Amino acid sequence: MVSGLAANSFVAVLGFAGGLGVGSALAALLIVLDIIPRLAQLAFAYRKSIWFETAVVFGALFWSLADFLEWRLWLPKHPTLIVIGTFDGIFVGMLGAALTEVMNVLPILAKRVRLSRYLVSLVYAMVIGKVTGSLFDWLVFQYMDP
């Protein structure tokens, strides 16, 4: 009984921490790449940028609910895969191009926060955390019963 409660508590804390990490990464990505201000600039809608921000927040909320509540939408297989694959490819390509522009974010941030001496340690910590999290996901979560 206690071990089940401890395991569930650990999974809940780990899930919350993962969600916090992913949410923070998304917010940082939106801020670093200036997605909302650039979109408002391209649309000539500076005064309506709150609509863009609201759309991002409600989009994230909607798709989180759709995932958690396992909403299903039945569409024809092949045309849907072609359209979704095309948009996924465009998104990944544009995101990759945008990220190559801002690859120097970590050194600039380290310099501003005066962590330049610890930059190598910071990168190692990020790599070790990513590898550990991936291994935990592959070796533990994959085999847990739902």
Q: Determine the pLDDT at residue 26.
A: 80
Average pLDDT by stretches of 10, the chain with 146 residues: 79 87 80 77 82 88 90 88 87 69 67 79 82 82 70
Query: CA–CA distance from 102 to each of 7, 86, 131, 137 (Å)?
Result: 39, 25, 23, 28
Q: Determine the pLDDT at residue 58.
A: 92
- Residue 33's Cβ-count burial label (10 Å; 0-12, 13-18, 19+) is middle
DSSP secondary structure letter of residue 88: H
Query: Do 88 and 97 form a contact (C-beta atoms < 8 A)?
Result: no
Q: Determine the pLDDT at residue 100.
A: 57
Query: Which residues make Cβ contacts (< 8 Å) with residue 53, sequence separation at least 6?
Result: 36
